A and B are shown apart, each in its own frame.
Chain A
Amino acid sequence: MLKYYKTICLIAITSFIFGSALCRAEYDYINISDPFLRKIPIAIPLLKVVSGTQIEESVAENASDLLSETLEFTGYFKILDRSAFLIEPQSDTIAANINFRNWTYVGAELLITSSILIKDDLLEMEFRLYDTFKEQLLTGKRYKGWINNQRKMVRRFCSEIIYYLTGNRGIFESKIAFVSTGSGNKEIYTCEFDGYNPMRLTNNKSINLFPAWSSDAKWIAYTSYAKGNPDLYIKHLKEKRGAVVARKGINITPAWAPGKFELAATLSFSGDQEIYLLTGTGKIIKRLTNKWGIDVSPTWSPDGKKIAFVSNRSGTPQIYIKDLDSGLVKRLTFQGQYNTQPGWSPRDDRIVYCSGENGHFNIYTIGIDGKNLVQLTDNEGNNESPSWSLDGSLIAFSSTRDGPSRIYITTAYGADQRRLLVLPGEQTNPKWSP
């Protein structure tokens, strides 16, 4: 109840936009479809403390670091070293007083000034984003809430920045579901987009696999051996609601239809592994594939009119696209003998997948038209289970490059590959939430 109240409080007080930047930039600072993306140098001085108490200073430092880390995570920015700044970091925060040449001189093209005020348990933070060359305020926001909401406030402003610069909301409210063996069994966990706050979702000491988020991120479907057989569980994340698809054979690889309470999944009760369309309550609506052999791992186009999936109808596992209206099926991948785990980009331009060749598994992306194949990982261990971030800018995947399987993040073009989180056991099957 208290938590609920806090959230309301934060939402109620935050949205105070100021400055001239009520509308979005006329041009994109960041061209998200540019594979040779140049990182924008950005200066993020420490938050200015208003009353100067010790707690204010420590929160200010945490918030400044979080702001830097969160923006760096996107892969769009080069965060400039604070020690190289020419001026007393907290001296000028108001546009009129900013000597922009101090900032352009150290190479900054963007500048974030900010201030913090703590009164009792209430926290007030103000952020402003400037273009240092145009000497112009781009966007600014003031947030009020409880002290422990600082993470949320910083995230919200990062979200504003990304929205201003790219035109979409970014990933900062998203989560990542994954499988971890930390407890000795494969259980499903979730964490925030940056690996923060991992939490265990299942606790049945069996094998749990293939988490999949519904479009509203309120539901998760996954496969579990909780009752012995690989059954499909459909679960509401907050309420005790859900369904189980426990047909004979396998019930695996769920994928929610965009914007609907429906999902595609592979069932083999007929004796053959086929992809079916199911209601959110687990009832079969119709069969989506009809070919002898393995058909698994469906992924939806953003408009919900097509699915890409894996089939071995040609003899080896390859990725196919089916137009659900016309029923036409077309093979997408021709290079390599083992192409699986397709993921349709939220930008509707490419499909990410895992390809195995000569015992090495790597992440590739390919155009929907089958052209322009790009390899994102380069034989560093096995790289599997790629999953797009909701804005299509990043890809989460699992890799054994450091020994045990861990979850890594890369930009859509293979740059800035880094480990997402440190947890005991092995982590696999990451799935980014909408």
Chain B
Amino acid sequence: MALKSSPVVFGLLARLSRRSFSTSKALASKPVTVRDALNQAIDEEMEKDERVFVMGEEVAQYDGAYKVTRGLWKKYGDKRVIDTPITEIGFAGIAVGAAFGGLRPICEFMTFNFSMQAIDHIINSAAKTYYMSGGQIPVPIVFRGPNGAASGVGAQHSQCFGAWYSHCPGLKVVMPFSSEDHKGLMKASIRVNDPVVFLEDEILYGIPFPMSDEALSPDFVLPIGKAKVEREGKHITVVCAGRATDTALQAANELAGNGIECEVINLRSLRPLDFDAIARSVAKTHHLVTVEQGWPQSGIGAEICARVMESSTFFELDAPAWRVTGADVPMPYASSLEVLALPRPKDVTAAVAAVLGNKISEAASQ
């Protein structure tokens, strides 16, 4: 399974970085790309623990299809950075077996689209064996790779698996946004004894985010299951994760100009989901919009709305919550349509305006 269009992607990256991503201004000391933050995290954990190893397609001499494992093969050799034949079902199975055998594999999918070929190992074996063995056999694996839409790679290469994997008990599902998120959460994912699905984003790899000295230190770890308030605000809560966080932050910037203060919550982890952070924020803002790149039905936004309904947070709402999601179609190839199939800052500002103006039915009928 391999089809990637690096020139297109890098061209787009260049455009994107010119457009400048919304990056945290706080405590900025050094810009580090997401790719380097991931590389640093994996390197540090491999250094620390002999049992940690990386496997996947092109991860060794080639440095990984997206260069996340750059330099690791040179440093750790064939034994710990393993290029595999092109069989997702095979190397995901190998990773599960190696975890049964006492190692701590990091299993790279060239993109998560290809993980469908291996999903039986991820769900039926990795996620359930600890439970089925009566707690005798833990399965510490990180399944990682780019998830969601990149650019110009069509229906089969552009889809978000956040909702799919976060549906399953036994898995932890992480969807980081910034370099700090990627580093801290990757290290936590490698250390935890449960299987983790670590959903990265191809577009984010090349984006530099400022990283504090603390985040750059080898001791930096973030807890899995805790959301981060990326921007404080009092009028409306905008919940997002991964690259959708950028969309939300851009919208928030724009709305701030109109006097609307959004509180942007970057979930960081989809399972466990930090609902307390959402509830706290909604108790303050009384309005809620969710933003995700995945499809609407049974999605992350749907889950958040359901939890709001089932809890006292429901009574905090002054208006119905609304979801901003990817369009409910396979990703179109045409670049003009592709842009429209993903949430844009404009969609978020429209949703916020509708929720705050309590004009949901009007907006929805358009």
- B and A form one assembly: no
Chain A contact residues, CB within 8 Å of chain B: none
Chain B contact residues, CB within 8 Å of chain A: none
